[in-house]
Amino acid sequence: MTNSIREIPDSAGFFVIGSNTTENHPVIGSMIKNEVINKGKKLIVVDPREIELSRYADYYFQINPGTNIAILNGLMHVIVKEDLYDKAYVEERCEGFEELAKTLEKYTPEHVADICGLKKPQDIIDAARFIAGLKPMSLYYAMGITQFVSGVNGVKSTANLQMLLGNLGVAGGGVNPLRGQNNVQGACDMGGLPNVYPAYQPVTSEDNKAKFESAWDAKNLSTKPGLTLMEMFNGAIEGKIKALYVMGENPVLSDPNQHHVLEALRSLELFVVQDIFLTETAREAHVVFPSFGFLEKSGTVSNTERRVQLMNKVIDPPGQSKDDWWIIMQLANRLGAKWDYSCSEDIFNEMRKVTPSYAGMTYQRVKNELIQWPCPTPEHPGTQFLHKGKFSRGKGLMTAIDYTPPAEGTDKEYPVALTTGRVLEQFHTGTMSRNSRILEELSPEPFIEMSGHDSRSYDIVDGELISVSTRRGSLRIKVRVTDTAKPGVVFIPFHFKEAAANVLTIDALDPVAKIPEYKACACRIEKILPLDEKGGGR
């Protein structure tokens, strides 16, 4: 996030795209609702599903899955054509405008409405004029932007829009991705990515190589980026990856094309899982290390707004479980390292030395202050919002981006678009939430969400068990008929092992970030007929 959660009251309006905010990020969702309902703030929502926030929106665009770039280009087309953009901001602080404007020329409201499945092109014109008058406007997105083969370009398009309107580098504005779990941001900050060290320092740099070899007393660190998860699975099947260590993750349920994932895991010579429950993934492992839950350990987490927060132990851990860092230290030392950490604070203090954006933080400061990185020195107060005055790269880079469709479009054989996501009552793959009796009672079983129009077309009623198939697999699942679904589009939450949505999803990847396209693939819906109706008798 370029900006902060506490700036929500500073925004004149909100642009929410690819985020079911009230279900996936309910605290932020409720704050936005409060500003809109009780304080008259403005709201624009773009999503294939008629999510709760759409009820309060001044403009709601129910687009086809995977057409985010088209609708963003359509809005920017009108803003540029009618000279509604912030000319002074663009001239002083941005580059690449001419190339962007040229690309936007063909994204007329009529063309965009056809791509996105919208009936009223005039709404695009009206909404563009509307958002141009909101100063400042904050933009929020989540995995409904990123989980496409065009995910990186989708993110760049949101930045294009906010730069065009002068909404970056100001309080109450910004491009604000909402993270899917509580410490995803922290994991990335600490170098939990295949191409960077902590603080996003590239592994390809010889200077960084020397810096970290000295800091870690290491030799021959590679300057070659590593593999992403999906590339690891492909490597395992090809025999190039012999061992895999999975920590606090459940890819058997969370990753696309489940058959492919299982094939990869079963191809490994050694598979180790470190987790708090025996997940579907852990059941495939050769070795399982039981680790602490969040209430059983101390440390820090870095949340979606770049805020570092102290986490304290509340209860004693069960059985033979151990702290994550302790398990890893024991393994490292058995492999020849000489690590001697006594607590999580020791690791934090080492991390500060090699992570410039965290250098000014201490456990004491984090305990008593609200600090967001970058915080380079002990005297620095932290950074509430990024790019104030100028961008970190100098000028903000506008990127000319064309719409590209999802990797797998619908056709006669698979005529329905499938998208996946979460529900409020369950979390991620259900590793924790499905062990809660109350949450399990609230949302106990998988379902497929279908529009009333489609249910009538297929002669299917609410609660009926049907078959859903894609080119990768099929499953049986109950129907939930709802007005929130767009005709021709169905939705399945991925929490449930009984009907795992990722049996169906495609493992096509964004070419840059290697993110799978969870949010769009083609499927076939079929009634389950009794045997006698199939002509086979009982």
CATH architecture of 184-368: 3-Layer(aba) Sandwich (3.40)
Peptide bond connecting 374 to the previous residue in cis, omega within 30 degrees of 0: yes
Tokens representing 448 are 């497929």
Task: Give, to the nearest 10 degrees, the angle between helix 68-81 and helix 151-164.
Answer: 20
SS3 assignment, position 102? helix
Residue 191 token pair: 């170098």
How far, CA to CA in Å, does 468 sit from each of 179, 278, 504?
29, 28, 8
Residue 182: the pLDDT is 82
Distance CA 248, CA 518 (A): 20
Helix (H) or strand (E) run with residue 352 in it: helix 344-354
How far CA 354 is from CA of 96, 198, 494, in Å, comes to: 34, 7, 37
Between CA 193 and CA 190 the distance in angstroms is 8
Nearest to 309 by CA among 301, 299, 318: 301
Q: What are the backbone dihedrals phi and psi of residue 350, each rounded to the nearest 5 degrees, phi first?
A: -65, -40
pLDDT at 514: 87
Contacts of residue 70, defined as CB under 8 A and 6 or more positions apart, other chains included, come to 63, 107, 112, 115, 116, 403
Query: Is 273:282 a contact under the CB 8 Å cutoff?
Result: yes
At the second CATH level, the architecture of 5-178 is 3-Layer(aba) Sandwich (3.40)
434-465 pLDDT, tens digit each: 899 999 999 999 999 999 999 999 999 999 99
Quick one: CA dihedral 209, 212, 217, 223, positive or negative? Answer: negative
Q: What is the CATH number of domain 416-534?
A: 2.40.40.20
Sign of CA dihedral 43, 141, 60, 88: positive
Please tell me the pTM assigned to this model.
0.92
CA distances from 285 to 109, 244, 430 (A): 52, 9, 19
Condensed to tens digits (0 to 9), the pLDDT of residues 275-311 reads: 999 999 999 999 999 999 989 999 999 999 999 999 9
Does the pLDDT value for residue 390 go beyond 80?
yes
Give 160 or 500, the one with higher predicted confidence: 160
Q: Per-residue DSSP letters for 26-69?
A: HHHHHHHHHHHHHH--EEEEE-SS--GGGGG-SEEE-PPTT-HH
Domain boundaries, given as residue ranges, for the chain: 5-178, 184-368, 416-534
Of the ranges 159-163, 191-195, 294-298, the best mean pLDDT one: 159-163
Per residue in 93-148, pLDDT (tens digit) is 999 999 999 999 999 999 999 999 999 999 999 999 999 999 999 999 999 999 99
* 533 pLDDT above the threshold of 70: no
Sole residue written with tokens 């980026």: 225
- Evaluate whether 295 touches 310 at the Cβ level (below 8 Å): no
First to last CA, the chain: 59
Contacts of 537 (CB under 8 A, 6+ apart): 531
Confidence of residue 531 (pLDDT cuts 50, 70, 90): low
Tokens 């049986």 belong to 476
> 268-271: which pairs have CB atoms within 8 A and are 24 or more residues apart?
268/236, 268/241, 268/242, 268/243, 268/244, 269/242, 269/243, 270/242, 270/243, 270/244, 271/243, 271/244, 271/246
Quote the mean pLDDT of the chain: 94
CB 494 within 8 A of CB 421: yes
Can you tell me the mean pLDDT for 171-186? 91
Q: Give the pLDDT band of residue 181 (cuts 50, 70, 90).
A: confident
Q: Is the pLDDT of residue 537 over 50?
A: no
Q: Is there a contact between 273 and 243 (Cβ–Cβ < 8 Å)?
A: no
Task: Give the distance, in angstroms, between the CA of residue 505 and the centroid of all CA atoms in the same chain.
Answer: 16
Report the distance separating Cα 44 and Cα 407, nearest Å: 27
**Angle CA 102–104–106, to nearest 5:** 95
The pLDDT tens digits of the residues spanning 62-87 come to: 999 999 999 999 999 999 999 999 99
